[in-house]
Structures are given as C-alpha cells and as structure tokens.
Amino acid sequence: MRLVLAGTGSAVGKTTIATGIMKALSNEYTVQPFKVGPDHIDPTYHTLATGNYSRNLDSFFMTDGQIRHGYERSMEITKADFGIIEGVRGLYEGISPISDVGNTASVAKALNAPVVLILNSRSLVKSAAAVILGFKTLDPTIDIRGVILNQVKNRKHYLKTKEAVETLAKTEVVGGIPRDDAIRVESRHLGLVPAMEKESILESINKWGEMVKDYIDLDKLISIMKQTDKLPPGRQRLWETKNRQKVKIGVAMDEAFNFYYRDNLDALEENKAKIVYFSPLHDEELPDVDGVYIGGGYPEIFARQLESNQSMRNSILGLNEEGRPIYAECGGLMYISRSINSYKMCNIFNYHSFMMKKPQALSYVISKAKKKSIIADKDDMLKGHEFHYSKVDIKDKNPKFAFEILRGKGIIDNKDGLMLKNTVASYIHIHTAAYPSFASNLTTSSKEL
C-alpha cells in the first residue's frame, strides 16, 4: 500500500505536507518514508516524523527493478503498513525535457503507485482545474488520484477551487492547507536545515502533523493506498555483497556531517562492516577502525569548531599517513583539505577550499575510474550527484585524480576524486545502486591494508 505525493512544481510545500502526512499516519500506523531524487536533507525530516529511515528512490541511479527491490526491501525491514513517497520538484521534472529519467513520474510508474498532486493554489480557482487537467493529459499512464491544495486563503477560496478541480478536472480534492507562516521551516543554501541540527524541528513536525489531521482527509488517502495493485514484476539488487571478512568502518556523523544515503550504510553492513559513528566536532580522536567514511554536510557552518578540534584533525591525518582507507564526499572533501575559508582542516590534501556565493555544481554525474582506488576498479563507470557552493583551489600541475567526469563538473577540468595513498576525496555523492561495488570495494580495501 503506497502513495506518491508529487508537486506541480518546486516550492509548493511538498516536504511540509508530506512530512505532516507521515507524522499524522505514524500515530496509528507504521509508515515507511521515501524521497524521490538524490536529496539528503528531506529524508531527515521523514525519519524524524516516522521513526524509520527514509530511503531514496531515483531512476537516474536505479533501474526499475532496483526501485522495486529498494521499495520492497524497506517495507519488509520496518513491516510498514504504508509506503509514503515524497516527489522531487514537479511531477515530470527530470534530467530531460522529454524523458522520465530522474523524475517523480518514473518512480510512480516503476511502482505502479497512485499519485496525489500538491498544488500551490494561491490566487487560483478555475485555473487550478486547468493545471490538474494538464498534468493528467500529459501522461495518462500516471494514476493521479487526488489533489491537495496548499496556500488556501480561506474556506470560501477552498470550496470554490475544490468545486473547479472536481467538476472540470474530474479529480478529487482531499484537502486544503491554509496560508500560515508559522508552519514554514528554516532553510539555507543547500535546502532545508537538516533535522538533526534543530531540536525545534521536531516541534514543527508535530505541528505539521496536527495541521494535516485538521485539513486533509487521511481516511481518503488510506483508501487510495489500500486500492493499489501488486508491485510490477522484476527485481534487481541495489548492491553486491562480496566481502567476507569483518571490518570496522568509522562514519562521521554530527551536525557538520550527515549527508549519507541510508542504503550505502546498509550495503557496508551487509559487506561485514561494523559501522562505528564518530563526531569530527565533538570527539577527541578517531575510534579504533579499519577505514573511514566522511560524508557531506555543512562543514563550512562549523568551520571554527572543526578547526578548534585539532586532536581529531591530527587523528584523521594520521590515519591517512598509515595508509588506512579514507573515503570523503563533498563536505568530507573540504574537511580533509588544508582549510575551509581559512580555517585549518585535516590537510591531507594541501589545497584550500572556500565558499562561493553561487552554486558551483548542481547535476547528476557520470564518471569513469581512471585508475584503481579503494572504491573502484580502473575503467569502472560510476554515477552520482553533485551539489555544492564550494571550490577547491588546485594549484598543482599534476594532481592525482581517480575519476574522469563524463557528465557533470567535478573538482577541476572534468576530473574528480583526489587521491593520496589510500584516501579518495570527491565532490560526487555516490549511491550504491548506481555503483553496486561501492561497499564491497571499500570494505575489502579496509581489510586488505
């Protein structure tokens, strides 16, 4: 029993409403949340609302069979009653103006899932019906079963717009959310503030849940989900499980570093890794581990505190000097550079990193391994995602890179993956489904050295 909550565009209130629905239903049911696309932040809200890890479903990273396997596996882990899937941008927005790759519609098709559209209805009445008709007509194979109106002015506005949509677009309106600045959430340059940073966000999520109960027909949403057919046939695993030796992998997890795909961590565990979490902000040194994984996040926000924790920086530098594997993504790349905005960092790579006012990269990535590393074999193809405002100041004439970028930007000159000994640092966020050998290679490398 599943449902896709899709927007008619960006910034229509998808995350607030989707998280509120998840929270409201979680009071009585077990809800498994999902997010379409490569987003790291929205899933932290879902997780906080439901108590279950939110998973990413993405048709650029995944085949249809992987989408179905990932969905089914997650539902089985939590024994969930309902799977709620928050879309990305508008229902049809992907990497192409024509195809479905990377969009919400592709995930709805792969799962044969009904869709409820979220529409910003500010200043719309009859035109709201035209918008919904357009969405239904563009691809009749998408099962659009309902509409949620957001930014409703008052009861009169809601009833008139509801009548227009239901009469002219023949689509049921299942609720209308009033305009209320009190239910907005703080954001910053990469999106919403990660839920683990703000205790007040839990209070906000509780408010969203109450709002949903007041203004959305949850019984109707449940009825729509209960009418879903079985998943289509065809399954494909998300990752390989080749490592057979136990290994300990340190994973940086705190306010500064928390951008991880949960499937990546599960893939490590299924490859015999014991994950040991540590905090570059708060811990004095690394725990006893065989290798380290430093994900993305907001190290630039916490640069002063990261600099002040010199013992941790020295500990990570020492691990590199010992030749132990270190894999760092995006914010992790910045942290193991020489500095972030002049604040001293680990200095594994003697390059300064600094923030820019505009995005430096926002793209799905296709890369090819130029040489063997701790995560990839030579000539392997890896897909990922890059989204950052920072730059790394590369002054060497011949820095050693692991990857050639075929789609995307990389660090410099279509190259990415700085290498030194057994450390790889990249702007690419890799999802295990897009490179199923990721976890088996990293765990194997950590035990071999």
- What is the C-alpha separation between 292 and 206, in angstroms, rounded? 35
Owner of token pair 């790394």 = 392
The pLDDT value recorded for residue 395 is 82
Reported as a pLDDT band with limits 50, 70 and 90, residue 235 is very high
Domain range annotation of the chain: 2-226, 247-448
Same-fold call for 2-226 versus 247-448: yes
Q: Are 242 and 273 in contact (CB under 8 A)?
A: no
pLDDT tens for residues 376-385? 999 999 999 9
Alpha-carbon distance of 198 to 195, in angstroms, equals 6
Helix orientation angle between 199-215 and 14-26, rounded to the nearest 10 degrees: 80
Share of the chain above pLDDT 70, in %: 95
Please list the active-site residues.
330
Is the pLDDT assigned to residue 428 strictly greater than 70? yes
- How distant, in Å, are the alpha carbons of 336, 346, 349, 353, 389 from that of 312? 11, 8, 16, 19, 25
Q: What is the mean pLDDT of residues 64-92?
A: 98
pTM of the model: 0.94
Q: What is the pLDDT of residues 174-219, one digit of tens each?
A: 999 999 866 666 654 545 566 555 667 888 999 999 999 999 999 9
Q: What is the structure's pLDDT at 197?
A: 53
CATH number (2.30.30.30, 3.30.300.10, 3.40.50.880, 3.40.50.1700) of 247-448 reads 3.40.50.880
* Cα dihedral: 337, 298, 36, 25 (round 10): 150
CA 264 to chain centre: 12
The C-alpha torsion from 225 through 230 and 231 to 235, rounded to 10°, is 150
Tell me the pLDDT tens digit for each residue of 294-325.
Answer: 999 999 999 999 999 999 999 999 999 999 99
Residue 49 phi/psi, 5-degree rounding, is -70, -35
Fold of domain 2-226 = Rossmann fold (3.40.50)
pLDDT (mean) for 412-439: 97
- Residues pairing with 291 in the sheet: 249
3-state SS string for 96-127: CCCCCCCCHHHHHHHHCCCEEEEEECCCCCHH
CA contacts within 13 A on the Cβ side of 378: 3
